[in-house]
Structure 1
């Protein structure tokens, strides 16, 4: 059996050498050996095992990326910087509203709506305010403990989002973004957009009763 001179192959045909090296790394020396000796079945078994190994490695990599992204999201729901209120106000509002909605007990999540908004005062300072569909800004214990420093709850007897817009307008604050833990009804979407603010969370096609 003649042996291939790898140095000569690299010199004479570098492209072929690179292709061969790629095939060698992908298939593995064991599979190549089986093919070279006419044992296609054994080579196929080796390749199947290698393919499963590669697929599993890719799966682990994807899961690692997903976990990393989830960690980033969770970190922002727990805290946020002043810069983030200017750079990504919609994202901050959406994640805070989602976090507060999740702080409700499971039965309450389908009845109570929590909303969060980024607002700006006349000095161009931004902060997060919270709205709820509970009467006059009442917060259940789990939600109250989930508030972050500097966040305040607005009073009102309407929808959580509408309460936020009404309070901000009354206090001459500019509404930047309003999000809710449940899909936002048409009436509230209209009120938010009329205030010139973003609506970064899902919307309902019909008004919520």
Structure 2
């Protein structure tokens, strides 16, 4: 894996993506125990692509919520599973700002819970039936298998470069892990006040 820094996205006359311009880099001075990247003398390079996905780190700006009076612990808003917040009637929270980074399924479930309980708080009490019949959960349809742990490159080797720390799974390992069913349709429904499980 070569070390490159993104510079700009190239587009054609129709404004369609044609590639990503990157600047080759090399490891520079060590800061904080790790080498910092610096631009090399090589020319910029075009990586042909018809789509560019931007992956960025994310954090929760919880300071303002704390100043407003909401309970914040370790950078996350303290809320009940029902999405309401103790001592703050009419304010609801859910998703990553409560749990920290988690799965999309959990975020969707939290959104459903918040929507239902906000609806109830406002006095509407709408009922949305769940007409889809979920198949019963089975735990005997797959042979129990141990989880595949990612293999890491030795620290002595990876401290000299910016290549990936973890080695990818083999095709066999990836197929085995992807065959697991997490039963999101059953367990991802969330928690609703009153224990409602057929309508909300």
Mark yes or no: TM-score above 0.5. Answer: no
Shorter-chain TM range is: under 0.3
TM-score in terms of structure 1 length: 0.20
Q: TM-score, normalised to structure 2's length?
A: 0.21
Higher helix share: 1
Which one has a bigger Cα radius of gyration? 1
